[in-house]
């Protein structure tokens, strides 16, 4: 590993370890978005093999988002669970069809949620109400 790569890895690890929970959720959405973009691009290029890993990683992020949901948070938790399960199902169908369009629809849906979580995280950082959504 180069000096730059080592420093970047250390910075990333420090960012994750010191981030509040709301910001971690935003980071998960960011990662899912990057992986979904890679998978869709690979399918558009006709390289279904290259789409496999980023799709699996995006689905692993959705799994993580699912297990971190707090049932005590009420109806919002149920809605998020439904969205995550829908997203996983859609990604599986996209993988079987080797179709980038459903992947891009899921990415758009998750981007909306990411923006909402970013607002929550920004409010939590400034002392505003954040709530226990996940």
pLDDT tens per residue, range 15-65: 555 678 899 999 999 999 999 999 999 999 999 999 999 999 999 999 999
Q: How far apart are CA 86 and CA 79, in angstroms?
A: 11
What CA–CA distance (Å, rounded) separates 24 from 45? Answer: 32
Report the number of secondary-structure helices (H) and strands (E) in the chain. 5, 0
- Cβ atoms within 10 A of the Cβ of 80, count? 19
Nearest of 82, 81, 88 to residue 106 by alpha carbon:
88
**CATH number for region 20-125:** 1.20.120.340
pLDDT tens per residue across span 102-117:
999 999 999 999 999 9
To the nearest 10°, the Cα dihedral for 112, 61, 119, 13? Answer: -140
Q: Which of 78, 107, 115, 65 is nearest to 90 (CA)?
A: 107
pTM of the predicted structure, to 2 decimals: 0.80
Kindly list the domain boundaries of the chain, sorted by start residue: 20-125
Residues contacting 86, CB < 8 A, separation 6+: none
**Length of the chain (residues):** 134
52-98 confidence digits (pLDDT tens): 999 999 999 999 999 999 999 899 999 999 999 999 999 999 999 99
In angstroms, the CA 98 to CA 131 distance is 39
């Amino acid at each position: 590993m180069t000096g730059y790569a080592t420093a970047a890895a250390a910075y990333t690890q420090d960012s994750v370890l010191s981030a509040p929970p709301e910001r971690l959720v935003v980071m998960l959405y960011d990662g899912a978005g990057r992986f979904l973009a890679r998978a869709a691009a690979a399918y558009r290029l006709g390289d279904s093999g290259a789409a496999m890993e980023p799709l699996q990683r995006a689905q692993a992020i959705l799994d993580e988002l699912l297990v971190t949901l707090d049932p005590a948070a009420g109806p919002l938790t149920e809605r998020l669970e439904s969205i995550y399960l829908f997203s996983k199902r859609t990604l599986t169908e996209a993988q079987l069809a080797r179709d980038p369009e459903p992947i891009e629809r899921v990415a758009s849906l998750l981007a909306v949620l990411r923006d909402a979580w970013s607002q929550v995280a920004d409010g939590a950082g400034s002392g505003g109400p954040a709530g226990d959504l996940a």
